[in-house]
């Protein structure tokens, strides 16, 4: 499933920016066309791309990972750094 996230004004959504943020969360990053693909504990695959205005993310869960709360926290931290919106703000924006 693909999720689309709004991005705060002033954040220049481009692959270089996405990669620089992602490096704080993971070691392994690769590009396929305009998509950035990586993984971290709990997510066997995370695919990120942008249209310049919104951030799009597709994930695959690692079903063998034993600490889903840690994965959720790390994922929310990543999305907050990329979009500028925390989980509470994103929920409010998406409910409009």
* Complete domains list, the chain, with CATH: 2-94 (3.30.310.190)
Whole-angstrom distance between the N-terminal and C-terminal Cα of the chain? 21
In this predicted structure, what is the pLDDT of residue 52?
Answer: 85
Q: Is 60 exposed, middle or buried (0-12, 13-18, 19+ CB in 10 A)?
A: exposed
In this predicted structure, what is the pLDDT of residue 1?
Answer: 83
DSSP for residue 88: H
In this predicted structure, what is the pLDDT of residue 54?
Answer: 93
In this predicted structure, what is the pLDDT of residue 74?
Answer: 93
In this predicted structure, what is the pLDDT of residue 12?
Answer: 87
Whether pTM > 0.85 for this model: the answer is yes
In this predicted structure, what is the pLDDT of residue 53?
Answer: 87
Q: What are the φ/ψ torsions at residue 56 (nearest 5 degrees)?
A: -115, 135
CA dist., res. 59 & res. 61, Å (int): 6
Q: Are 41 and 61 in contact (CB under 8 A)?
A: no
**pLDDT digits (tens), the chain, 96 positions:** 899 999 999 998 899 999 999 988 876 899 999 999 999 889 999 999 999 889 999 999 998 899 999 999 999 999 999 999 999 999 898 887
């Amino acid at each position: 499933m693909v999720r689309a996230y709004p991005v705060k004004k002033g954040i220049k959504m481009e692959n270089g920016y996405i990669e620089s943020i992602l490096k704080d969360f993971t070691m392994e990053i690769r590009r396929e066309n305009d998509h950035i693909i990586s993984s971290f504990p709990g997510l066997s695959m995370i695919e990120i791309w942008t249209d310049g205005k919104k951030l799009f993310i597709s994930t695959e869960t690692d079903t063998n990972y034993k600490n889903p709360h840690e994965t959720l926290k790390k994922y929310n931290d990543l999305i907050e750094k990329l979009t500028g919106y925390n989980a509470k703000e994103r929920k409010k924006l998406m409910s409009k």
